[in-house]
Amino acid sequence: MKLGVIADDFTGATDIASFLVNNGMTTVQFNGCPTQDFSQPVDALVVSLKSRSCPAEQAVSLALAALRWLQQQGCSHFYFKYCSTFDSTERGNIGPVTDALLGALAQSFTVISPALPVNGRSVYQGYLFVGEVLLEESGMRNHPITPMRDSYLPRLISAQGQGTAACVNYQVIERGAQAVKAKLADLRQAGHRYAVLDALNEHHLVVQGEAVADLKLVTGGSGLAIGLARQWKKDHATAPVQQSRWQRSGRSVILAGSCSERTNQQVAHYREHGPAIAIEVEPLLTGAVRPETYAHTLCEQVLALPEAPAPLIYATASPSALNAIQQKFGVEKSSAAIEQLFALLAVALYQANVRTFIVAGGETSSAITQALGIDAFHIGPAVSPGVPWIRALDAPLWLLLKSGNFGDIDFFSRAQRQETPL
């Protein structure tokens, strides 16, 4: 038995993969839909797409291709992962993709469960809350691509999809999995296509997981994965964890390309404890130094340092310094040049036996993983919520990819110390 997950963006895919692993399922993640078969024994395969904000027809065809591939790999149950803030518009992609997946699986009913209480996303009487406010009153109201102006999930999903929706409220969830199953059967009987599930806490997600474990298709944020993985572990023999996979070897580096407030704090903190090299951005942007030459110089500087603690190489700048650079050279030009430098540096470091890359920043992470040619990886233990270790499928190469705002202040030191037991 295998679970196939189709996620509509990369960080969302890593998020759900991490919850699956933390709750007992061995998981591999793929960037985009693979073209080759995958035969290693794992419990879940996660395909990350870039389909959250593309045209709906494109999102549907990407999801159907991913579904076909997952079916060919022996997956029997499927999870469509979207954002815990239900990022979409009335014409958004969640409804059309859900309908297409239901159709391809010859099913007529599924659940909608975006809640992730640990991150402040809860669903109450079908209304989605972000922290203490309704979704439509949160920052998502003014999201540049997917502004959310309604918080009532049954209305949102009915507007996007081909069927009607009703809510399984928390009072039913509190009565346990059998009560939820009975309610789902009633809703299906009444002709509804979608059941929106309330969840105010993790226990509710555990009940949800037990109640929906038999559905061919479930949909939601990453929270439902907690309940589903726990139930899966009870119902099926899960693939063994290979501890040796997480025993790191070779040198380690920290590459920080994020300028977020949190990364600035983490860099400042690390500079007090470990070796740190600041990237000189201006000569790179004026063309005074070629990126290849500069990457080589930085690599030499790293190799001249002791192996531990891991050297930090950072472009991280304060808001005012960042603003000055961006004003002078343009946002796109400066971003692209620094990302290119990190990509070249990562390759040079890899060639010099660096095998662990701790990276800060989403775009920076994507430039580095692409340069290192990593498009499929095992998901390991998390250092912070949403930041799991990953290991390239068939190579001893470990990465920790941190979103700009994630992680505690001592994240970089803690990550190195972690023994990474599962």
Ligand X SMILES: O=C(O)[C@@H](O)C(=O)CO
Q: Which residues of this chain interact with ligand ATP, rule CB under 6 A?
A: 257-260, 263, 281, 315-317, 322, 325-326, 334-335, 338-339, 361-364, 403-405
Instruction: State how far the Cα of 126 lies from the Cα of 192, in Å rounded to an integer.
Output: 15
Q: Which residue lies nearer to ligand X by CB, 143 or 216?
A: 143
Residue in 409, 252, 254 with CA at minimum distance from that of residue 342: 254
Dig out the tokens for 5 from the structure: 């997950």
Residue 12 contact, options ligand X, ligand ATP, none, Cβ 5-8 Å cut-off depending on partner type: ligand X
Q: Contact, 46 vs 27, CB < 8 A?
A: yes
Residue 84 contact, options ligand X, ligand ATP, none, Cβ 5-8 Å cut-off depending on partner type: ligand X
Residue in 63, 64, 29 with CA at minimum distance from that of residue 43: 29
Give CA 129 to chain center in angstroms: 20
Residue 361 contact, options ligand X, ligand ATP, none, Cβ 5-8 Å cut-off depending on partner type: ligand ATP
Q: Which residue lies nearer to ligand ATP by CB, 142 or 320?
A: 320
Q: Which residue lies nearer to ligand ATP by CB, 227 or 311?
A: 311
Q: Which residue lies nearer to ligand ATP by CB, 253 or 317?
A: 317
Q: Which residue lies nearer to ligand X by CB, 381 or 385?
A: 385
What's the min distance (Å) between Cβ of 196 and ligand X?
A: 16
Q: Label the pairing between strands 133-134 and 127-130.
A: antiparallel
The residues of the shown chain that bind ligand X, judged by CB under 6 A, are 9, 11-12, 15, 83-84, 221-222
Backbone phi and psi for residue 299, each to the nearest 5 degrees, phi listed first: -60, -45
CB atoms within 10 A of CB 240: 8
Residue 88 contact, options ligand X, ligand ATP, none, Cβ 5-8 Å cut-off depending on partner type: none
167: CB partners within 8 A, 6+ apart:
125, 126, 153, 154, 195, 196, 197, 198
Residue 172 contact, options ligand X, ligand ATP, none, Cβ 5-8 Å cut-off depending on partner type: none
What's the min distance (Å) between Cβ of 12 and ligand X?
A: 3
Closest residue by beta carbon to ligand X: 12
Q: Which residue lies nearer to ligand ATP by CB, 214 or 282?
A: 282
Q: Contact, 155 vs 196, CB < 8 A?
A: no
Per-residue CA distances from 67 to 72, 104, 224, 375 (Å):
9, 8, 19, 18
What's the min distance (Å) between Cβ of 110 and ligand X?
A: 18
What's the min distance (Å) between Cβ of 84 and ligand X?
A: 4
What's the min distance (Å) between Cβ of 53 and ligand X?
A: 11
What's the min distance (Å) between Cβ of 405 and ligand X?
A: 12
Q: Which residue lies nearer to ligand ATP by CB, 343 or 348?
A: 343
Residue 335 contact, options ligand ATP, ligand X, none, Cβ 5-8 Å cut-off depending on partner type: ligand ATP
What's the min distance (Å) between Cβ of 244 and ligand ATP?
A: 30
Residue 315 contact, options ligand X, ligand ATP, none, Cβ 5-8 Å cut-off depending on partner type: ligand ATP
What's the min distance (Å) between Cβ of 80 and ligand X?
A: 12
Residue 392 contact, options ligand ATP, ligand X, none, Cβ 5-8 Å cut-off depending on partner type: none
Q: Which residue lies nearer to ligand X by CB, 212 or 313?
A: 212
Residue in 405, 365, 369 with CA at minimum distance from that of residue 384: 405
What's the min distance (Å) between Cβ of 189 and ligand ATP?
A: 44
Residue 83 contact, options ligand X, ligand ATP, none, Cβ 5-8 Å cut-off depending on partner type: ligand X
